[in-house]
Amino acid sequence: MKNTFWNLTAILILIAVLFFLILPVTRVLLGSFQIHEGGSWTLANYLKFAEYRTYWRSLGNSIWVSCVASLIAIAMGVPLAFMVSRFNVRGKPFLIALSTIPLMLPSFISAFVWVLLLGRAGVVTQFLNAIGIPFTSIYGHLGVVLVFALQFYPYIFLMTLSGFNTVDESIEEAGRSLGTGPVKTFIKVSMPLVLPGILSGTLLCFMTAVENFGVPMIIGEQQPYLAVKAYTEFTSEIGDHPGMAYALSVVLIIVTMLSLMAQRYYLRKRNFIQSAKGRPVLRELTGWAWRLAGGYAFFIVCFPLIPFIVCLIISFLKMNGPVITSEFSLSNYIYAFSRAARPIFNSYFLATMATLFSVFIGVPTGYILTRRKGGVSDALDLAIMLPFTIAGTVLGIALIVMFNTGFLVLTGTLSY
């Protein structure tokens, strides 16, 4: 009886996944092999992709900026995790809480504020030019990389931190007693144990960056990026030949899927069991070393928060047309709530509903995955990983294609 109930639930969830995820994405996949809807099967879209520089450059750009951003994020997050885990840095819980803020706020807002600061007419740009430092703007790769790195480094920081925290004290002591000094022990013993955490964080950072649409849209300017390209192809050519947008979507899915598979392959043999007896010893730094470590940690954590602080400040400044004045006022908020109440309501309403749906689907799924074994559960495990590999833009396109006519119309309703 109990089994029947859970199997039924699993099948219902699978049907939902099939209907709202697999079918639309399959439709995109199939559509990428047609020029027109219902046309003959062809590789034309992919040939066009290979032929035109702008398309494969968009692929190259997306991968390039995501890779560079990930490397910078590693450089930010890993040393920070090491310091927070091993040294007596002050205000640790506060620091960790602060570090998660970039993940909670939309990346395109961050991109927008960086334009305000470092765009062609940006405040900082003008200041730099005034004191004689030549700097034009951060538009292009530089800006995209900057925003990605600052925005997504917490993935790497948090996963690495948990890695460092679970390296058993006695494992490192064993290394030292066997004859390697502290530094060599760290390289030979601790690092290999933390590496899976670093890689998982890097993968999250990379995938989020590759899929990101808002940041390159705002700050990428002339450069083409995959997610942006797919979206613009779709909106400008809908009803004409959307095949190209589908092909770009498929390319995007392939990139994210490949990186996920690479990570899973690497982790396959590195699922270390750790019987953490004691957490690693906290090294007490004093004097300058302590100040330096603390200063570094706070700098790394606070720098990515600049856009949000600036955004907060600007929101309280009086606007004179498009020009920001230095006068404090609540006029922006009054304007927002009186004129744009509907969008605000929509955002919160949709987010709330989406969360509720996620809970209704996610909780039973989690239960089934951990407590029940067997065919249905395995299928569910696979299906539930799919959304990870599919960019929001692609899924949006897929859902529009699937449900803009027929018995279930989602386009233009609250279902986005």
Regarding 267 and contact with another protein (CB under 8 A), the answer is no
Axis-axis angle for helices 226-237, 53-86 (nearest 10) = 140
Regarding 406 and contact with another protein (CB under 8 A), the answer is no
Shortest distance, CB of residue 271 to another protein, whole angstroms? 7
What the block records as the tokens of 374 is 């067997």
Annotate 374-385 with DSSP letters as a single string. Answer: SHHHHHHHHHHH
Shortest distance, CB of residue 279 to another protein, whole angstroms? 13
CA–CA distance from 324 to each of 69, 111, 318 (Å)? 31, 18, 6
The values of phi and psi at residue 390, to 5°, are -110, 120
Alpha-carbon torsion angle 46, 47, 51, 54, nearest 10: -20
Shortest distance, CB of residue 287 to another protein, whole angstroms? 19
Regarding 173 and contact with another protein (CB under 8 A), the answer is yes
> Which residues is 323 bridged to in the sheet?
320
Regarding 188 and contact with another protein (CB under 8 A), the answer is yes
Q: Of these, 104, 273, 323, 382, which contacts another protein (CB under 8 A)?
A: 273
Regarding 187 and contact with another protein (CB under 8 A), the answer is no
Regarding 268 and contact with another protein (CB under 8 A), the answer is no
Q: Of these, 59, 193, 228, 376, which contacts another protein (CB under 8 A)?
A: 193
Shortest distance, CB of residue 274 to another protein, whole angstroms? 6
Q: 3-state DSSP call for residue 206?
A: helix
Shortest distance, CB of residue 197 to another protein, whole angstroms? 13
Q: Of these, 26, 274, 346, 347, which contacts another protein (CB under 8 A)?
A: 274
99-126 in b/e form (b: 16+ CB < 10 A) is beebeeeebbbbbbbbbbebbeebeebe
- Kindly tell me which of 90 and 270 has the beta carbon lying closer to another protein: 270
Shortest distance, CB of residue 354 to another protein, whole angstroms? 39
One-letter identity of residue 127: F
Regarding 356 and contact with another protein (CB under 8 A), the answer is no
- Residue ranges in 167-224 assigned as alpha helix (H): 169-177, 182-185, 191-211, 214-219
Shortest distance, CB of residue 182 to another protein, whole angstroms? 8
Q: Of these, 48, 57, 92, 176, which contacts another protein (CB under 8 A)?
A: 176
> Do 78 and 218 contact (CB within 8 A), yes or no?
no
Q: Which residue in this structure is represented by tokens 């109440």? A: 341
Query: Which residues of the shown chain bind another protein in the complex (CB under 8 A)?
Result: 168, 170-171, 173-182, 184-185, 188-189, 192-193, 269-275, 277
